[in-house]
C-alpha cells in the first residue's frame, strides 16, 4: 500500500540529533511570536505618535519616520519569514497536527492571510510613500496597518488557543465553537498587552538613538511609555487564563511538573520586573529610561515571551490538540486498534540504522512512532537518561501504564511485543550497544509478554486526565 | 469547465491556482529582476530600468512571500499527505529555503543602498533565489513520485536529483523573464521598454522551446482539456505583443503582451497542475464540513478594497 493510502497517515520521521524536536519548533516559534507581537505593538505606537505629531509634537513625527524603517526591516522580513518557517517546522515535528489545524480552520487561516496581506501592503506603502503623504493619509495608513496586524493576531490566536482548549468543538460544536474557545479571550488580551509593551520598549530604545536634547527625548519617552501601561492588567489576565485551563494542565504548571512550573516562574518574574519598572518608574515617577535599560527590559520581555510560549506548549500535554490528537500524532480513538495491531504494523518507512536483532529494530520503529516527537535517545529529554536507573520490570510496567506513570504522557499505543521491544532497545542503548544478550529469548518469555499485556489492559486506552 | 466543478475541492483548487498565479508574478519579478540588475551592475551600465528594479526588488520579494502564503495554505488541503511527505523527505535541506530567503531579502536591501557592495549583494540574492526555485521544483517532483519515497528515506538522501527537474526549471526561468519584463515595462522609458520587449520575447522562446523539446523527448503530450492550446495561443499573442512593443514602445504592443501574458499565466497554472489533479485527496471529512467560508469571502472583499484604497492613496502622493 502506498503511504498516501494508509488509514492512519504515517510520515517519514527526521532525526534532529541531540536536539529535541520541541526545541527546534520552540526556537523558531519564540522568535516569530516576539517579532510578530512587536510589529503589532509598534504599529499601534506609531499611529498614536503620528497623531501626537499632527497635533504639534514635531519630535513624534520624526520618531515615526525613523522608527518605521526599523520596524519594516526587522519585523516584516524576519517576522513574515519565520511565519513560513513555523509552517515548515511544524510539518517536520507534527505533520498530522498541522494537517488537522488546516483541515478545520483553513477558511479562518485564509482570512488571517488576507489581513496579513493588508498589513504588509499598508506597511510598505507607509515605508515608501509616508514622508510624501499628507497628514490624513499618513494617519489612515498607520491605522490600517495597526488594525490589520491586530486582526491577523485575532484570527491566529483562535486557532492556537483551540489546540489547548477546544471545548465544545470536541462535541461537534463546529468551527466557531472551536475558535471562540475558553482560552481565546484571555490569550488575545494577554498577547495584545504584550504587543503594546514590546512596541513601547523598542520605541524607548529608538528614542534614545535620536539626536535630540534630553528634555525632548524625555517627553517622547513618556508618550511611548504609556503604551506599556497595559502590562498592568497582565496578572489578572494570566489568572483568567489559568482558570480556564483544564485541571490537569493547570496542575502541571502549578507544581505538578517542576520544569513547567519554573518556566511559569520565569515568565511571571520577568513580566513583574518589566511591569514594576514601567508602572512605578516610568509612569508614576516619570523616570528617564536610557537605551541600555530599555534594551535590558526588552531582553527580559524576550525571556518572558520564550518562557510563556514554553508554558503554552507544555500545558497541552499529552496532546497537540486536546482530546483530538496526542503528541504522538495518534488520535485517541486509534489507540485501541494499535494495541491490537501493534504500533508500527502500518508504518511503511524503513529504518535508517541497522540493529543486530529484529526485536531491536522493532523497538527502534516503536521509539520512532511513539517517543520521537518529544524525546531523543541520548540528547535533550533523553529516553536513556530518564529510564537509566529503572529495573527491567519497572521499565516494562512504566511503559505499559505510561499515562499513569506520568499524567502528561499519552497511553502507550502499541501491544505487549512493542513494549518489550522498546524495553530491550532502551537497555541496548543504555549499555552503548554492548550487551546484545539482553535481547535473549529469556528477556521476552511468554510470561513476560503476558504480564505486559495485563498491565496494558489495566492501564486502558484512555488518557489519565479528563479530556476537557 | 474542466478542471473545475461544484465541489469544495474545486473551490480550493481555484483559490490555489489564483493565489499561485499572483505569487508567480512577484517571484518572477524578483528572480529575473535580480539577475537583470546583477548583469547591469557587472557591466556597470547606467541602465534606468536596473535602477528602478533595484528600488522595487525588496518590496516585490515581500509581496511574493505574502502572496505565497495563499498557495501554501491551499496546497495542504489538496495534496496534504504528499506535500507533508515531500517536506519531510527533503528534511532540513528543505527548511534551508527560509534562511536563503532571509539572506536574499537583506541582500536586496544592501544592493539598493550600497553601490560598493551591489554586485556581491545581487549575486548573493540571485544564488539564494535560484536555490529556492530549485528546491520548490524538486519538492514538486518528490510529491508526485510516491513509489520512490521509501528508498529516498532509507538512503537518507535529501536531494532529488532527477533529470525532470532541469526542463521544469528552464520553463520556469523563461516564464520568470516574461513576467518580469511585463511588469517592469510599464514603468520603463521607451528605450528600456524596447530592451524589456526583447527579454520578454526571449523568456517566451526559452519556455516554449523547452516545453516542446520535453514533449518530443518524452512523447507525452497532455492537452489538459484544451488548456494547453490556450496557453500556446496566449504565448504566441504575447510574443506578437512584444514584437509590436519593440518596434513602437509607446504603442499598444505592451497592452497586448500584458493581456496575453496574464492569459498565459492562468492557462499555464492549470496546465502545470493537470498531471497531478488525479492525486487530489478528495475524502477530507473534517475539511469538507468546516465553516468560515463566508467570513473569508467577506474579508477578501474588504481586504481587496483596502489594498485598492492604499494603492490609490500612494499613487496620489506628490513627487
What cell numbers appear for B310 in the block? Answer: 492604499
What's chain A's average pLDDT?
92
Q: Cα B73 to chain center, whole Å?
A: 16
Q: Chain A contact for B318, CB < 8 A?
A: yes
Asked whether residue A354 carries a pLDDT value surpassing 50, the answer given is yes
Write out residues in chain B with pLDDT < 70, as ranges. Answer: 283, 285
Mind giving me the DSSP string for A276-294? Answer: HIIIIIIIIS-----HHHH
Q: How far apart are CA A99 and CA A323, in angstroms?
A: 16
What cell numbers appear for A258 in the block? Answer: 517542576
Q: Which residues of chain A have a CB within 8 Å of the CB of B89?
A: 12
Asked whether residue A69 carries a pLDDT value surpassing 90, the answer given is no
Of the pLDDT bands very low, low, confident and very high (cuts 50, 70, 90), residue A307 is very high
For residue A132, give Cα distances in angstroms to A135, A138, A240, A395, B317. Answer: 10, 9, 45, 70, 6
Q: What is the mean pLDDT of residues A404-414?
A: 95
Of the pLDDT bands very low, low, confident and very high (cuts 50, 70, 90), residue A436 is low
pLDDT digits (tens, 9 = 90+) for A173-191: 899 999 999 999 999 999 9
pLDDT digits (tens, 9 = 90+) for A133-145: 999 999 999 999 9
Placement of cell 549583494 in the chain: B121
What share of chain A has pLDDT > 90, as a percent? 82
Q: Which residues of chain B have a CB within 8 Å of the CB of A4?
A: 81-82, 85, 146, 279, 281
A92 contacts B87? CB cut-off 8 A: yes
Q: What pTM value is reported for the model? A: 0.94
Q: Which residues of chain A have a CB within 8 Å of the CB of B296?
A: 107-108, 110-111, 114
Mind giving me the DSSP string for B248-270? Answer: -TTSSHHHHHHHHHHHHHHHHHH
Our CA-based measurement puts residue B66 at a distance from the nearest CA of chain A, in whole angstroms, of 6
Q: How far apart are CA A297 and CA A291, in angstroms?
A: 10
Our CA-based measurement puts residue A30 at a distance from the nearest CA of chain B, in whole angstroms, of 16
- A232 preceded by a cis bond (ω within 30 of 0): no
Asked whether residue A74 carries a pLDDT value surpassing 90, the answer given is no
Q: How far apart are CA A362 and CA A420, in angstroms?
A: 10
Q: What is the mean pLDDT of residues A280-294?
A: 95
Look up the ipTM and state it: 0.94
The partner residue sitting opposite A352, judged by closest CB among B101, B154, B316, is B154
Quote the Cα angle for A186-A188-A190, to 5°.
65
Q: What is the mean pLDDT of residues A397-417?
A: 96
H/E element, A325: strand A325-326
Q: Chain A contact for B307, CB < 8 A?
A: yes
Give contacts of B 105-144 with A, CB under 8 A: 105-106, 109
Amino acid at each position: 500500500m502506498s503511504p498516501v493510502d494508509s488509514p492512519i497517515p504515517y510520515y517519514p520521521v527526521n532525526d534532529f540529533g541531540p536536539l529535541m524536536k520541541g526545541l527546534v519548533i520552540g526556537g523558531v516559534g519564540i522568535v516569530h511570536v516576539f517579532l510578530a507581537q512587536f510589529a503589532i505593538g509598534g504599529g499601534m505606537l506609531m499611529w498614536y505618535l503620528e497623531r501626537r505629531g499632527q497635533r504639534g509634537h514635531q519630535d513624534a513625527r520624526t520618531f515615526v519616520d525613523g522608527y518605521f524603517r526599523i520596524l519594516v526591516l526587522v519585523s516584516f522580513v524576519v517576522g513574515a519569514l519565520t511565519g513560513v518557517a513555523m509552517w515548515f517546522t511544524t510539518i517536520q515535528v507534527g505533520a498530522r497536527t498541522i494537517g488537522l489545524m488546516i483541515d478545520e480552520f483553513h477558511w479562518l487561516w485564509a482570512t488571517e492571510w488576507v489581513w496579513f496581506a493588508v498589513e504588509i501592503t499598508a506597511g510598505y506603502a507607509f515605508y515608501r510613500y509616508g514622508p510624501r503623504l499628507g497628514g490624513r493619509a499618513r494617519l489612515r495608513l498607520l491605522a490600517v496597518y495597526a488594525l490589520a496586524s491586530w486582526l491577523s493576531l485575532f484570527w491566529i490566536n483562535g486557532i492556537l488557543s483551540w489546540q489547548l482548549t477546544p471545548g465544545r468543538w470536541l462535541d461537534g460544536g463546529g468551527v466557531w465553537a472551536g475558535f471562540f474557545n475558553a482560552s481565546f479571550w484571555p490569550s488575545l488580551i494577554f498577547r495584545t498587552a504584550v504587543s503594546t509593551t514590546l512596541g513601547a520598549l523598542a520605541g524607548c530604545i529608538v528614542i534614545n538613538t535620536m539626536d535630540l536634547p534630553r528634555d525632548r527625548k524625555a517627553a517622547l519617552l513618556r508618550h511611548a511609555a504609556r503604551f506599556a501601561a497595559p502590562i498592568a492588567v497582565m496578572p489578572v489576565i494570566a489568572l483568567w487564563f489559568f482558570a480556564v485551563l483544564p485541571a490537569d494542565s493547570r496542575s502541571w504548571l502549578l507544581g505538578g511538573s517542576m520544569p513547567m512550573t519554573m518556566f511559569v516562574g520565569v515568565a511571571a518574574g520577568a513580566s513583574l520586573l518589566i511591569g514594576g519598572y514601567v508602572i512605578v518608574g516610568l509612569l508614576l515617577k516619570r523616570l528617564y529610561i536610557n537605551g541600555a535599560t530599555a534594551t535590558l527590559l526588552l531582553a527580559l520581555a524576550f525571556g518572558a515571551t520564550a518562557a510563556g510560549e514554553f508554558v503554552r506548549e507544555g500545558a497541552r500535554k499529552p496532546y497537540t490538540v486536546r482530546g483530538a490528537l496526542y503528541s504522538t500524532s495518534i488520535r485517541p480513538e486509534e489507540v485501541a486498534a494499535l494495541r491490537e495491531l501493534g504500533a508500527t504494523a502500518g508504518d511503511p518507512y524503513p529504518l535508517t540504522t541497522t540493529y543486530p536483532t529484529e526485536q531491536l529494530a522493532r523497538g527502534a520503529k516503536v521509539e520512532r512512532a511513539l517517543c520521537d516527537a518529544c524525546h531523543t535517545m541520548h540528547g535533550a529529554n533523553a529516553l536513556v537518561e530518564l529510564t537509566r536507573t529503572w529495573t527491567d520490570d519497572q521499565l516494562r510496567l512504566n511503559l505499559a501504564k505510561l499515562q499513569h506513570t506520568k499524567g502528561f504522557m499519552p497511553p502507550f499505543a502499541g501491544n505487549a511485543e512493542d513494549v518489550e521491544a522498546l524495553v530491550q532497545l532502551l537497555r541496548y542503548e543504555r549499555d552503548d550497544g554492548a550487551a546484545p544478550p539482553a535481547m535473549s529469548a529469556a528477556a521476552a518469555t511468554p510470561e513476560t509478554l503476558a504480564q505486559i499485556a495485563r498491565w496494558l489492559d489495566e492501564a486502558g486506552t484512555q488518557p489519565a486526565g479528563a479530556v476537557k | 469547465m474542466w478542471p473545475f466543478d461544484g465541489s469544495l475541492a474545486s473551490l480550493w483548487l481555484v483559490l490555489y491556482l489564483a493565489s499561485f498565479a499572483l505569487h508567480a508574478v512577484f517571484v518572477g519579478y524578483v528572480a529575473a529582476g535580480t539577475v537583470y540588475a546583477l548583469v547591469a551592475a557587472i557591466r556597470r551600465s547606467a541602465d534606468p530600468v536596473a535602477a528602478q528594479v533595484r528600488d522595487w526588488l525588496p518590496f516585490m520579494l515581500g509581496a511574493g512571500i505574502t502572496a505565497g502564503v495563499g498557495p501554501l495554505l491551499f496546497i495542504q488541503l489538496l495534496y496534504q499527505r504528499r506535500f507533508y511527505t515531500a517536506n519531510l523527505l527533503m528534511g532540513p535541506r528543505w527548511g534551508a529555503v527560509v534562511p536563503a530567503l532571509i539572506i536574499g531579502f537583506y541582500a536586496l536591501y544592501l544592493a539598493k543602498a550600497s553601490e560598493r557592495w551591489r554586485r556581491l549583494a545581487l549575486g548573493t540574492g540571485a544564488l539564494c533565489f535560484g536555490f529556492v526555485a530549485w528546491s520548490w521544483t524538486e519538492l514538486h517532483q518528490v510529491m508526485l513520485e510516491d513509489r520512490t519515497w521509501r528508498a529516498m528515506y532509507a538512503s537518507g538522501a535529501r536531494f532529488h536529483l532527477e533529470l525532470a527537474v532541469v526542463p521544469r526549471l528552464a520553463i520556469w526561468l523563461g516564464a520568470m523573464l516574461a513576467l518580469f519584463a511585463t511588469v517592469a515595462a510599464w514603468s520603463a522609458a521607451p528605450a528600456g521598454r524596447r530592451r524589456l520587449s526583447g527579454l520578454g520575447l526571449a523568456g517566451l522562446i526559452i519556455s516554449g522551446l523547452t516545453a516542446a523539446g520535453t514533449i518530443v523527448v518524452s512523447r507525452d503530450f497532455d492537452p489538459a482539456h484544451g488548456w494547453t492550446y490556450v496557453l500556446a495561443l496566449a504565448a504566441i499573442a504575447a510574443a506578437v505583443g512584444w514584437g509590436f512593443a519593440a518596434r513602437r514602445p509607446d504603442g499598444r504592443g505592451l497592452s497586448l503582451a500584458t493581456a496575453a501574458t496574464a492569459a498565459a499565466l492562468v492557462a499555464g497554472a492549470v496546465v502545470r497542475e493537470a498531471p497531478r489533479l488525479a492525486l487530489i485527496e478528495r475524502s477530507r471529512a473534517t475539511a469538507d464540513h468546516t465553516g468560515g467560508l463566508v467570513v473569508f469571502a467577506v474579508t477578501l472583499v474588504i481586504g481587496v478594497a483596502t489594498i485598492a484604497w492604499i494603492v490609490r492613496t500612494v499613487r496620489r502622493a506628490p513627487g
